[in-house]
Every structure is written in C-alpha cells, then in structure tokens.
C-alpha cells in the first residue's frame, strides 16, 4: 500500500446491521476534495474492493469501500454470495438505509467537499450505485462497471440528479438485452445525461483479475479482460474529472 494513503475502518449501524466500511485518503494532497462511495461485487468486502478504494484515493478523492452485508463480510463462495445478495434485494428498505448511510459517513469526513460526491461500483455495486441516484441522493455522478441495470425503485422526473457512466461488457451474459433497453428508456424518460460504453468481447467481471478463476470454479460466465479493465478505468477517470470540476 502506498505510504501516503491512510486507511481506516469506519464502523456504524444502518439497515439493521453493524457495518464496517473501509476509508482511504491520500494524505499527501491538501484541502477538501470529492468523495466516492464504492460499492462491491456480490462477494462483499474483499481485497479487490479495498484496493480500488486506495487507487481512487490516489486520484484525489476520499474513497469509501462500502460494507453492504454487515461486519465487513466477504462471501466464502458463490452460493453464499448469492444468498447474501438476495437478502439485500428481499429488504430494499434496509438496503436503501445502508446505501444512504455510506454517504452520511463520507459527509462527516473533514476533507470531503460535500458538494462533490458520487457513487460507483462493480456488478452488484453498479446496481447499488444507480439505486443511490434513483433514491434522489445529491450526487454529481454514478459509474457502473459490469453492473446490473434493472431497478427496484422508480425515480420521478427531477429526482435522479447524477450524470451516469455505464462501463458494460458487450459479451456480458448476466445483463440481458431487455435490461439494457429498459435502462436506456428509463434514462430518456428521466432526462438523465448518461454515457453507455460497451466494450467488445468483454464478459461480466472484466475489471477483476480474479474473475476468470472464479468463473471456472463456480461455472459462471465471468472473465477478466486486462485491456478493457485499463480502458474502462481511463474512461472513469475522464468522467470524474469532468463531473467534479
């Protein structure tokens, strides 16, 4: 870990559980800065998510890798990950409280510019990031990497304030065409400014170096794609630089 990145675990309660999210801040940079809540894949709070938070901190934001399951839990396998994720969607009221609480925790940090906040996430985390915007939270932007695009909350016109970047694998078998079409229609209906990047040949999980092994282990259509990982990260950086100006 870079010596200039300070990390700590933030413990708080929301949605019926004790949460342990992971904060990362670059101490070599001065002054208030934008903040990002970073939501996880269905695996939960793992080393991959913490690494992303540290990398984002080095880009000049306060990054919070968000615990959504409680007690910083990481699923042991795909069966447990599915059960944990389904538990979130079975009680969206509680899940929404956990999502909101992440931004409340960020807003308390002394280096955060509360007028420049955003959400991003991977897989499940992409869905939760979009959910935060659909709830009407005051966010500048949302970035989803190989995330689900369906909705569990219907935003009214004017509620969805964030601009959106979708980083989607063209060969993603877990995000069907009908879901993509529904998302495009939703954004049009709400008048949301968005960009939908579809990367040729990329499958679900294309940003995570562990995706290929996990896909083979659990018989899931997952695969890491180094080129798309790099390209989507650059696309994300361009997006945040613009919306956080």
The CATH code of the domain that includes 114 is 3.40.50.1820
Into how many domains does the chain fold? 1
| Residue 185 belongs to domain spanning | 5-243
Characterise 146 by phi-psi region: left (phi > 0), alpha (psi -120 to 50), beta (else).
Answer: left
Q: Identify the pLDDT of residue 2.
A: 65
Q: What are the per-10-residue average pLDDT scores of the chain (245 residues)? A: 87 97 95 97 98 97 98 98 98 98 98 98 98 98 98 96 98 97 98 98 98 98 98 98 97
Tell me the C-alpha distance between 244 and 115, whole Å: 9
pTM of the model: 0.97
Which tokens hold the place of 28? Answer: 């070599």
Any alpha helices (H) in 161-225, and if so which ranges? 177-190, 211-218
In the sheet that holds 112-122, the strands lie side by side as 5-14, 17-26, 62-65, 33-39, 112-122, 141-145, 163-169, 194-199
| Phi, psi of 39, rounded to the nearest 5 degrees | -95, 145
Q: Tell me if 27 sits within 8 A of 6, measured CB to CB.
A: yes
pLDDT in tens, 15-71: 999 999 999 999 999 999 999 999 999 999 999 999 999 999 999 999 999 999 999
**CB < 8 Å & 24+ apart, contacts of 219-225:** 220/78, 221/172, 221/173, 221/174, 225/169, 225/199, 225/201
Per residue in 137-151, pLDDT (tens digit) is 999 999 999 999 999
Give the distance, in angstroms, between the CA of residue 80 and the centroid of all CA atoms in the same chain. Answer: 20
């Amino acid at each position: 870990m870079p010596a200039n990145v300070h990390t700590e675990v933030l413990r708080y309660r929301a949605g019926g559980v004790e949460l342990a999210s992971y904060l990362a801040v670059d101490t070599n940079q001065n002054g208030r800065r934008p903040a990002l809540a970073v939501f996880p894949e269905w695996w939960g709070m793992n080393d991959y998510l913490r690494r992303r938070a540290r990398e984002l901190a080095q880009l000049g934001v306060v990054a919070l890798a968000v615990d959504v399951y409680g007690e910083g839990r990481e699923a042991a396998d795909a069966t447990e990950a599915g059960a944990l994720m389904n538990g979130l969607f079975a009680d969206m009221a509680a899940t929404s409280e956990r999502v909101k609480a992440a931004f409340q925790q960020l807003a308390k940090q002394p280096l955060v510019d509360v007028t420049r906040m955003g959400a991003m996430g991977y897989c499940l985390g992409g869905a939760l990031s979009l959910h935060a915007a659909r709830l009407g939270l005051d966010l500048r932007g949302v970035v989803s990497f190989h995330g689900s695009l369906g909705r569990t909350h219907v935003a009214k016109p004017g509620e969805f304030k964030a601009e959106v970047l979708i980083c989607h694998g063209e060969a993603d078998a877990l995000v069907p065409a009908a879901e993509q079409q529904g998302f495009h229609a939703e954004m049009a209906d709400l008048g949301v400014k968005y960009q939908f990047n579809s990367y040729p040949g990329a499958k679900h999980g294309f940003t995570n170096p562990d995706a290929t092994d996990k896909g083979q282990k659990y018989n899931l259509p997952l695969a890491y794609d180094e080129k798309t990982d790099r390209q989507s990260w650059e696309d994300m950086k361009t997006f945040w630089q613009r919306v956080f100006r």
